[in-house]
Structure 1
Amino acid sequence: MTHIKHAPAGAPETRYHTPMCANYTPTRLDAISQHHGLEHALFNFPAEAFPGYLAPIIRESREVTGAIECVPAMFGMVPHWADTKLARQTYNARTETVATKPSFRNAWKRNQFCIVPADNFFEPCYETGKPVRWRISAAEGTPLGIAGIWEWRAAGPDGLPLLSFSMLTINADGHPLMDRFHKPGDEKRMLVLLEPQQYQGWLEGALVNEEEVYRPWDAEKLVAVADPMPPRGKAKEAAPALF
């Protein structure tokens, strides 16, 4: 089981200087249980996740063959050889290099795949000349299932086991929606969003080489609205595990 200290709710100073998704809203545990048909897990995590924060992931059970489980993990992959500060750089994994990058290749080769349940994710829009946080979610209002990979290490900074994860991203240059985010001229990236019928195959590793998995979602399947960061001192409190 993962044991890490909860980070205080709020955004790090570098939140608008990162090339991909560094901030999202984890789906509540009761909604995860209902959407994925899982037993209701019990653990706490912040209402919004940033690199280094605790959040729920879904993976194949380590104890029951053929079953899946919802467990807490740190946002930002930290291999056994790395300092936990690496999480600030490994919260996203590019699909083009995930199989070869030292931070990710072990998890990829071992088929350590997971789904990151999210109500939405945030990206900076510069259309006003300054970065304004926008919230992106499924148009149908259902939780998103983000493709991810996970890693386990026997001892984290507190000497206890640590589970961590990264979200996969793909190129999104020219995408009608994602083209609006990040600085003009920057490469546009998008999270790998899974369809519900792909969940099981992804966790089993059966869809790793399927091109369909790595196609950006159509803009019509997503909705985006401005959602500026709350002033400092008014950040959202940590979300309880049970609602």
Structure 2
Amino acid sequence: MCSRFTLNLGDAINLSKRLGIPIDEAMAAGPDRYNIAPASDVVTFRNGEATTMRWGLIPHWSKPGQSPSAPLINARSETINEKPSFRTAWKKGQRCAIPLTGFYEWEKQGRDRLPWLFQRNDGQPLMFAGLWDSWTDNSDDTTIVSCSVITTTPNSMLGRIHDRMPVLLDETTAAIWLDADLADPTKLIKAFPTERLTETALDTYVNSSRSEGPACLTPRGEAPGSQFDLF
């Protein structure tokens, strides 16, 4: 499960330029985020625009006043065209790309959960392949646009600590993924190559979803706040 990630706003701005997607000043002025968790509003690219969506898809058919008890933050690629929560969005081509600087996964060692940060090895940002949906709560006419990160079988780097990994896109594959005329998006659903990623063992400070700031990137074995040169 992919449940936490980081985003330097400069990376989002650069990606929007490369993809030819305008990003408004208010969004571009937002702070860097070091520990983005489910139910957060996340920067998202779709249909030639940059917008924000709630992370945790709410299907359009959800009942008034009743969003899912467990946020649908991930969508398994193998069943995305079958599960009621995702199949309509998939068939309608409601694809999105969620920019990130890096993402976290946790390795279980006994009772301990040891965090790892995964990034592109050339220092460039990535994007999650995602699906989005729009739900209107008829009880108060509130509309929420939300998204889910698509997952697949892991590469060898991620596979040693988890049985899933997010589908990752670079600028080239994201442009294809976001093309409304794409006939077969499944060809882009695959594990990102191990040789294009790097991993960093982190201090457990980031384990709490309430932790924020550069200290989340503290390498394991160092005191949080001692250095922040990973961004």
Counterpart residue identity of residue 84, structure 1: S
Deviation at 1:156, TM superposition (A): 8.3
The match for 2:150 is 168
Instruction: Return the match for 1:52 from 36, 39, 44.
Output: 39
Query: How many residues get paired?
Result: 202
The match for 1:225 is 200
Q: 1:207 to 1:189 in 2, by over 3 A?
A: farther
The match for 1:185 is none
- Which protein is richer in helix relative to its size? 2
The match for 2:157 is 177
Deviation at 1:26, TM superposition (A): 3.2
Q: 3-state SS of the aligned residue for 1:161?
A: strand
Between the aligned residues of both structures, percent identity stands at: 26
Q: Deviations over 1:2-32 (max 9, x none)?
A: xxxxxxxxxxxxxxxxxx101111341x432
Deviation at 1:109, TM superposition (A): 1.0
Q: How big is the alpha-carbon RMSD for the aligned residues of Structure 1 and Structure 2?
A: 2.6
List alignment gaps of at least 5 residues for structure 1: 1-19, 61-67, 183-187, 238-243
Q: Deviations over 1:9-68 (max 9, x none)?
A: xxxxxxxxxxx101111341x4322222143322457822211111110000xxxxxxx1
Q: Which has the higher contact order (CA 8 A, sep 6+)?
A: 1
Give the Cα separation in 2 of the matches to 1:151 and 1:121: 23
Give the Cα separation in 1 of the matches to 2:150 and 2:110: 29
Q: 3-state SS of the aligned residue for 1:126?
A: strand
Q: 1:157 to 1:96 in 2, by over 3 A?
A: farther
User: In the alignment, does 2:14 pair up with 1:40?
Assistant: no
Q: Deviations over 1:183-228 (max 9, x none)?
A: xxxxx11111123212222112455635541221221111111223
Aligned 8 A contact 1:55 1:74 in 2: yes
User: In the alignment, does 2:75 pair up with 1:106?
Assistant: no
How do residues 5-44 of structure 1 correspond to structure 2 at under 5 angstroms?
20-28=1-9, 30-37=10-17, 38-41=21-24, 42-43=26-27, 44=30
Give the Cα separation in 2 of the matches to 1:154 and 1:199: 28
Aligned 8 A contact 1:45 1:55 in 2: no
The match for 2:227 is none
Q: Normalising by the residue count of structure 2, what TM-score does the alignment of the two structures yield?
A: 0.77
Counterpart residue identity of residue 235, structure 1: S
Give the Cα separation in 2 of the matches to 1:101 and 1:32: 31
Q: 1:204 to 1:159 in 2, by over 3 A?
A: same
Counterpart residue identity of residue 236, structure 1: E
